[in-house]
Structure formats: structure tokens, C-alpha cells
Amino acid sequence: MENQKWLEERKEKWLEEQEELKKAWLREQSKKFMEENGVNKWMEKQQEKWVERQMEKWYRQHEEIIKEWHDKQIEKWKELLEEKWLEKQKEILKEIEAK
């Protein structure tokens, strides 16, 4: 009876080991297949393309923000220049009136 139990445990352990070996072998075969057929390079290219698309998307989003900021700065400068121009015109008028 005790031998029977030991044999069952040993058989179960052996089956588990075989399953692990089978999984390892399948992983190795999969890796080998991917290398032989250029799948890894294809996957790397796909990842590079995805990264490029993300960078372009990020740039477009930020380009709009930068453009808005730049437009606001131009408006501020225009206002300042108009104010300065008006002040200068007033000074010129005062000088003319004083003469």
C-alpha cells in the first residue's frame, strides 16, 4: 500500500516535470521559429512604427499648444506696440501744438 502511494506520487511528479519540459521545449521552438522567419524583426519594426506615430501625435498636440501661445504673444506685442505708437503720436501732437 505504501509502495503504491509512493509510486503514484512519483508518477505525478514525473508527469509535472514532463509538462514543464514540454512547455520549455515549445517556448524554445517558438523562439527559434520567430528568429528563422524574421518575426522578431517584424515585431521590432511594428513597435518602431507605433513609437513614431505616438511621437508625431504628441508633437501635433504640442505644436498646437505652442502655436496658440505664440499667437497670444504676438497679440500682446501688437497691443504694446499700438500703445507705444499712440503715446508717441500724442507726444508729437503736443510738440506741434506747442509750436
Tens of pLDDT, residue by residue over 3-33, are 888 989 999 999 999 999 999 999 999 888 8
Q: What's the number of domains the chain is made of?
A: 1
- Please check whether residue 29 lies inside any domain of the structure: yes
Query: 12 in a domain, yes or no?
Result: yes
81 within some domain: no
Cβ(24)–Cβ(30) under 8 Å? no
Asked if residues 73 and 79 have their Cβ atoms less than 8 Å apart, the reply is: no
Say yes or no to pLDDT of 99 above 80. no
Q: 85 lies in a domain?
A: no
Residue 28 placed within a domain: yes
Mean pLDDT of the chain: 90
d(CA 8, CA 49): 54
* Backbone phi, psi, residue 61, to 5°: -65, -45
Confidence of residue 37 (pLDDT cuts 50, 70, 90): confident
Q: Put residue 76 in one of left, alpha, beta given phi > 0 → left and psi -120 to 50 → alpha.
A: alpha
Is residue 99 one of the residues assigned to a domain?
no
Residue 5 lies in a domain: yes
Residue 87 domain-assigned (yes or no): no
Domain containing residue 37? 1-70
